[in-house]
Amino acid sequence: MELNRRDFLKLSGIGTGAAVAFSLLPYTAAFAAPREFPLKRKVKETSTVCCYCSVGCGAIVTAYEDGIIKIEGDPDHPINEGALCPKGQAMAQIHQVNGEPNQYRLTKPLYRAPNAEDWEEKSWDWMIETIARRVKNTRDNNWNNSANRTDAIASLGGGELDNEECYLLTKMNRALGVVYLEHCARI
């Protein structure tokens, strides 16, 4: 049989087409099969405020079952309008890292007694009572009657405090007669 150039091109085209169709068969079958995953997953979205600094950016946390899927900036929030700085974007790592619970996250107070080398785990009740007792004792033992204040206690705020927390902390310190109020950003 003699093949001219046109016949050769026709036969080559048919052969290539058949080969491509044959190789696609498994994919075609896979696409036709019903999906194993539900199209809708029951995720829950909760709006929150970033815990890292007093800018107070708004964020939306998306959770599925026990895990957090993502945390993104809240586009409706008047402060950040959807943007988050790198700290805010990494907020999910407080709870989990690479899908696993964050093993370094502290969930109970740690206490190191004076001159001790090791930290002990304490309950929140013990910690709050101990702090309150020490503040009261220090204040009572170092009260300046003429100035109506104590110079023995200082308060150091942190960048994680938000506006409301700063307001309450300042009120409490003023009520206690504490005059040395500072913030870590000014030291």
Q: Scanning residues 114 to 143, which ones bind ligand SF4 (CB under 6 A)?
A: none
The three-state secondary structure class of 112 is: coil
Q: Which residue has the tokens 């019903």?
A: 34
Size of the site for ligand SF4 (CB under 6 A): 11
Question: Residue 104: what are its φ and ψ, rounded to 5°?
Answer: -90, -5
Judge whether 169 and 155 are in contact, CB under 8 Å.
yes
Q: Which residues inside 12-51 make contact with ligand SF4, applying CB under 6 A?
A: 50
The CB-of-137 to ligand SF4 minimum distance in angstroms stands at 36
Confirm or reject binding of residue 71 to ligand SF4 (CB under 6 A).
no
Residue 48's nearest CA partner among 38, 63, 37 is: 63
Q: Which residues, listed in sequence order, are joined to residue 46 by a DSSP beta bridge? A: 61
Find the binder of ligand SF4 among 60, 68, 85, 153 (CB under 6 A): 85
- Which DSSP state fits 41? -
60 makes contact with ligand SF4 (CB under 6 A): no
56 binds ligand SF4 (CB under 6 A): yes
> Does residue 161 belong to the site contacting ligand SF4 (CB under 6 A)?
no
Q: What length is written for the chain?
A: 187
101, two tokens: 């619970």
Asked whether position 82 contacts ligand SF4 by CB under 6 A, the answer is: no
Out of 61, 71, 84, 92, point to the residue binding ligand SF4 (CB under 6 A).
84
Residue in the shown chain whose Cβ atom is closest to ligand SF4: 88
